[in-house]
Amino acid sequence: ATDEQTLGFQTEVKQLLNLMIHSLYSNREIFLRELVSNAADACDKLRYAALNNDALYENDAELRVEIEHDAEAGTVTIRDNGIGMNRDDVISNLGTIARSGTAEFMQQLSGEQQKDAKLIGQFGVGFYSAFIVADEVTVRTRKAGDELGEGVEWQSRGEGEFTISTIERDRHGTEIVLSLKSDATEFADDQRLKSLVRKYSDHIDIPVRMPTTQEDESGETTVSWETVNEAQALWVKPKSEISDDEYKGFYKHVAHDFTDPLTWSHNKVEGKLEYTSLLYVPSRAPFDLYQRDGARGLKLYVQRVFIMDDAEQFLPLYLRFVKGVVDSNDLSLNVSREILQQDPKVESIKSALTKRGLDMLKKLAKDPESYQSFWTQFGEVLKEGPGEDYANREKIASLLRFSSTHTDAATQDQSLDDYIARMKEGQQKIYYVIADGFNAAKNSPHLEIFRKKGLEVLLLSDRIDEWLMNHLTEYDGKQMVDVAKGDLDLGDVEDEAEKQAQQESAKEKEGLVGRLKTTLESRVQDVRVTHRLTDSPACVVLPEHEMGYQMRRLMEAAGQ
């Protein structure tokens, strides 16, 4: 080995390693899934790169992953003939965490094992999970197409630094040797490894092979390789032949998650456009859900060839939590992100997948418990929908859940249809109040008259709510009305006598109103007698078309 260099891990890697080793002990078998998943991804990437340059295969085009073990030495080796890495790739991929927001994420970790295990799951452990079971990890790799002398060896004990050197390597691709910790030697076992491959990697379309050694009569040993997983792209199989466990296992590979998904939807479309989609709703939000450059989008395949991760063009932003695969027969294998943005076929697939996504949520909503857990994780993202996707706003609105004076609880679990079913006779509108927090909304003086009359009001207090209501002015033909804005018209819920009485009392108070107007002249537009209030003496009301408090604050924050 030459050019040996010792480098330190990025601080965040050290933190991750430390936490992972301590909090993922009971999940430690996932290391194999992560490493096989990376090996399969590397094969996918080579297949894609070789589309334009066959020579990259170096006469070794049968893509595969191999797993070997040595019980005596206490090692497990995972090997692929995929794309491989050069020295720079190795330093950045196996020495840093490139995702933005990582440092902020690390700060959230508490040191409490169970909590952190969950958070780390949201983050995705990847390659570094090797150190859950190994006290030393050696990676040997060469990028396909590079000179044989440009191989790289990386070695680390996971304690803050790694060494890297240049080696001669005749095959392209990557080999990872785990030197198992003394309490993890159970993994250097044929049956154990096989069952883990079947459990976690059955669904990937690259064969995972393990060797069997046989000795014949003359004492000569031969090694034969057996494919352990099913090695067929899951989405290609007919739905009826796929078990729930297979769907769940595949999700974990696609989404880099290790909790089960909440639900999924698998569809094959034939006709003018031909494509297959397999969409999943995760059960937990990823840490970068609200980051502008957070990972989102589907894995794109064209005729079963992997093209790219995170293809964002197939779903709207408000469904960015959806994970999965789209495999098209109509796109070119040479498609790029730029081409995707302009291709009208992509636009049609996107609008169809949007419908699928919304239908999947509608189905999920039939199980209120699951839907509630979906809503807690992703509700605020879905609320971006009516503003982003005018055509589907009614459909999206039916999927929204709110707090309301019906329960007076902070849990958002009431749908607009629930509200409508409870509307009083003569009520024509859907009422809501927006405030900075749930308690402020619940105790708003604007609600007094509504409570008195038994009219339900939606209690909105998420940051996004005002933006949402700006775009959701109507649902099911009923106007949505902010109870804090403009003149209050309770429609037929008020009878003539009441209206009469209000007009009379307004007349009586003309003098008082006049004096208040003069006193407050520079600070308010108008002073009026109101029947909004039953207990409070006065309240501030916004004109009908005025920007609300939340929007004002947002605009101010944006320097407007």
Binding residues vs ligand ADP (CB under 6 A): 34, 38-39, 42, 80, 82-85, 93, 124, 126-127, 174, 256
Q: Does 201 bind Mg ion (CB under 5 A)?
A: no
Q: Looking at 23, 38, 75, 229, which residue binds Mg ion (CB under 5 A)?
A: 38
CA distance 134 to 445: 62
65 or 468: CB nearest ligand ADP: 65
Residue with tokens 């009569």: 217
13 or 326: CB nearest ligand ADP: 13
Residue 297 touches which member of ligand ADP, Mg ion, none, C-beta under 5-8 Å by kind: none
In the complex, the smallest distance separating the C-beta of residue 192 from ligand ADP, rounded to whole angstroms, is 21
- The span of 35-43, 89-97, 140-148, 407-415 binding Mg ion (CB under 5 A) equals 35-43
The conformation of residue 272, written as its DSSP 8-state character, comes to: S
Q: Which residues contact 144 (CB under 8 A, 6 or more apart)?
A: 46, 49, 50, 56, 57, 58, 82, 83, 84, 172, 173
Name the phi and psi angles at 115, rounded to 5. -60, -50
Structure tokens at 227: 């494919």
Residue 178 touches which member of ligand ADP, Mg ion, none, C-beta under 5-8 Å by kind: none
Name the phi and psi angles at 24, rounded to 5. -105, 20
Residue 82 touches which member of Mg ion, ligand ADP, none, C-beta under 5-8 Å by kind: ligand ADP
- The span of 121-129, 240-248, 453-461, 482-490 binding Mg ion (CB under 5 A) equals 121-129
CA distance 126 to 180: 18
**Closest of 448, 454, 456, 464 to residue 534, by C-alpha:** 448
In the complex, the smallest distance separating the C-beta of residue 116 from ligand ADP, rounded to whole angstroms, is 18
284 or 383: CB nearest Mg ion: 284
Query: How many residues bind Mg ion, per CB under 5 A?
Result: 2
Q: Does 126 bind Mg ion (CB under 5 A)?
A: yes
7 in Cβ contact with 95 (< 8 Å): yes
Residue 322 touches which member of ligand ADP, Mg ion, none, C-beta under 5-8 Å by kind: none
In the complex, the smallest distance separating the C-beta of residue 213 from ligand ADP, rounded to whole angstroms, is 25
Phi-psi label, residue 212: left if phi above 0, alpha if psi -120 to 50, beta otherwise: beta
**Closest of 191, 201, 189 to residue 33, by C-alpha:** 201
- The span of 30-38, 62-70, 93-101, 493-501 binding Mg ion (CB under 5 A) equals 30-38
13 or 180: CB nearest ligand ADP: 13
In the complex, the smallest distance separating the C-beta of residue 125 from Mg ion, rounded to whole angstroms, is 8
40 or 397: CB nearest ligand ADP: 40
41 or 384: CB nearest Mg ion: 41
Tally of helices (H runs) and strands (E runs) in the chain: 20, 19
74 or 324: CB nearest Mg ion: 324
CA distance 383 to 397: 8
In the complex, the smallest distance separating the C-beta of residue 92 from ligand ADP, rounded to whole angstroms, is 8
Residue 42 touches which member of ligand ADP, Mg ion, none, C-beta under 5-8 Å by kind: ligand ADP
In the complex, the smallest distance separating the C-beta of residue 169 from ligand ADP, rounded to whole angstroms, is 13
In the complex, the smallest distance separating the C-beta of residue 56 from Mg ion, rounded to whole angstroms, is 21
Structure tokens at 209: 């092979």
The C-alpha torsion from 283 through 285 and 287 to 293, rounded to 10°, is 130
How far, rounded to the nearest angstrom, does the alpha carbon of residue 44 sit from its chain's CA centroid? 22
126 or 387: CB nearest Mg ion: 126
In the complex, the smallest distance separating the C-beta of residue 112 from ligand ADP, rounded to whole angstroms, is 24
Length of the chain: 560
Angle (CA) 255-130-158 rounded to 5° is 125
Please report the DSSP string for 334-387 in residue order: T--HHHHHH-HHHHHHHHHHHHHHHHHHHHHTTSHHHHHHHHHHHHHHHTTHHH
In the complex, the smallest distance separating the C-beta of residue 305 from ligand ADP, rounded to whole angstroms, is 18
In the complex, the smallest distance separating the C-beta of residue 550 from ligand ADP, rounded to whole angstroms, is 36
In the complex, the smallest distance separating the C-beta of residue 37 from Mg ion, rounded to whole angstroms, is 5
Q: Is 491 helix (H, G, I), strand (E, B) or coil?
A: helix
25 or 127: CB nearest ligand ADP: 127
Residue 93 touches which member of Mg ion, ligand ADP, none, C-beta under 5-8 Å by kind: ligand ADP
Structure tokens at 250: 């595949």
Burial-class residue 326 by CB neighbours within 10 Å (0-12, 13-18, 19+).
buried
Residues 426 to 455: which contact Mg ion by CB under 5 A? none
> Which helix H or strand E contains 7, and what residues bound it?
strand 2-8
Residue 124 touches which member of Mg ion, ligand ADP, none, C-beta under 5-8 Å by kind: ligand ADP
85 or 361: CB nearest ligand ADP: 85
In the complex, the smallest distance separating the C-beta of residue 47 from ligand ADP, rounded to whole angstroms, is 13
38 or 229: CB nearest ligand ADP: 38
Residues pairing with 298 in the sheet: 311
Residue type for 211, please? P
CA distance 40 to 252: 14
Instruction: Give the binding site for Mg ion (CB under 5 A).
Output: 38, 126
